[in-house]
Structure formats: structure tokens, C-alpha cells
Structure 1
């Protein structure tokens, strides 16, 4: 048996990165996935403008070491990525002595489905240069 999950969606915010005292690099980010809303007959629901309505779910993604380094360098808010990893459940007691539960995806692979922030930065700089009236 294998604990395997594959998600494709949009990154919700710039990944947060940390490094442990032992040198392990960690990157965390949120990922939004969507699916069409359906009525009781299975037909896709549409809004008043005729656009398909969707249900969006948010997932917490955690990456380690090399994957974390790549995510930190190249992944930005709004980027489309595919994550392959495993589901990890946690349980803890908060400061008010209430038992809490959480779930996250531990990513083994993150595949870019759209351009990352380094390419967007280069293209933005190139466009800025094109707009300049200064001769070279």
C-alpha cells in the first residue's frame, strides 16, 4: 500500500522558507485546487454571467531540502504547479489544552505548469528596457 497524492493548482502565496538547526531546508506554501460545482443531477452550475461555478479547496504543502530550495527560488504566487507527495496528518494540544488536528501534503516533487518568478522577473526587466527611450 502507498500513501500517494497528486494535486495540480495555483500557488496561493509566496512560499515561506526556513532552515532547521541541523541544516534541513523547509519551504511551505498553499495550493488552491478547483472543481466545478454540480447540481443534484450532475450538471455543472453556472453563475448569472454564464460562467462555470467552482468549489475551491486549499492545501498546505511542505517541501524539504532540494525540493524546498527549488520551490523557494522559482515558485511564486499565482503560479500553476503539480505536486506529487504524501498526506501527513498531525495532532497536537494547543495552549488552551484543546486537541487540534491538521493535514498537510509532504511534497516529493513539484512540477512547474506555468512560468515561475525568475522568468517573470526577467521578462518584466526586458519589457522595462523596451519601454525606455534611452539609446544604447
Structure 2
């Protein structure tokens, strides 16, 4: 109880001691964890004046059973595959991902969501959702 009250007092002091009334220090979280299989070998791209980026895709699967009855083994099994675009900007991780991530390998990716826009080759503005990887754990050996 005392911790909660002191945390509230601390937050109020931070909010009200600022010279800028619009500055409110709040904690937020943007975290993604994916466990799946790599859909394509990574590519490394570099736009002029920017650091290179390694890009690959990861597929995650969701499975469920539908049907009548109380048994968990009755009914049809359905599956939905979702594809995720992974971008790796960290210099060390970027190079390791480019060298060791291979199509079909199983990986665990931690990172954050990023939403952006780009203009395609037909001059159409498109939206893209990307996972910016902070960590990659390799769960398959290289003999996939």
C-alpha cells in the first residue's frame, strides 16, 4: 500500500515540477515476441545515406479445432498462417542475421512494432507493418 501511494506521489511531483505543462513522463511498452519459421533467406538493403538493414519474413501459425462434441479431439483442425516482416538495424545482430538466418529455420524474435508508409513502383502509397528486431534466438541448426 505504501509503495503504491509513494509511486503516485512521485508521478505527481514529476508532472507538476516540470516547467512545461504538457510534459508528462509516462512509461509505455512496444514489445513483440514471435516464434516461427523463416519464410525467405534474408536480404541486406542500404538506402543512400542510411545504415544497412537486414530483412526477412517469419511465419507464425494459429491452430484450432472446430466441431461438435465435448471431446477436444473431435472436429476439424483449422490453421491460419500469418507472415511478419522482420527488419534488423543493430549492426552486430544485422550481420549475424544476414549470415545465419536461412529459409525454413525456426527462430524466436523479440522486438517492437513499427508502422510506416512507402511509395511502390506504381507511385501508390502503401502502409507497412514491420517488426524491428532487438534480439534473435536461433532454434534450428543450419541443416534445415
Match of 1:57 in 2: 82
Aligned-residue Cα RMSD (Å) equals: 2.9
Task: Count residues in correspondence.
Answer: 114
- Structure with larger Rg: 2
Match of 2:63 in 1: 36
Q: Is the 8 A contact 1:25 1:69 kept in 2?
A: no
CA–CA distance in 2 between the matches of 1:97 and 1:23? 22
Instruction: Give unmatched runs, 5+ long, in structure 2.
Output: 1-27
CA–CA distance in 1 between the matches of 2:121 and 2:50? 28
Query: How do 1:99-118 and structure 2 match up within 5 A?
Result: 99-116=125-142
- Cα drift, residue 101 of structure 1: 1.5
Report the TM-score, using the length of structure 2 for normalisation. Answer: 0.66
Change (3 A) 1:36 1:4: same
Deviations 1:61-114 (A, max 9, x none): 000121110011111000000000000001345566644211000000110011
Report the TM-score, using the length of structure 1 for normalisation. Answer: 0.70
Query: How do 1:111-126 and structure 2 match up within 5 A?
Result: 111-116=137-142, 120=143
Deviations 1:2-35 (A, max 9, x none): 1000000000010011245457231100100001
TM superposition outliers: structure 1 runs of 4+ over 2 Å:
18-25, 37-41, 43-47, 91-100
**1:76 maps to 2:111:** no
29-38 or 75-84: which moved more? 29-38
Change (3 A) 1:36 1:16: same
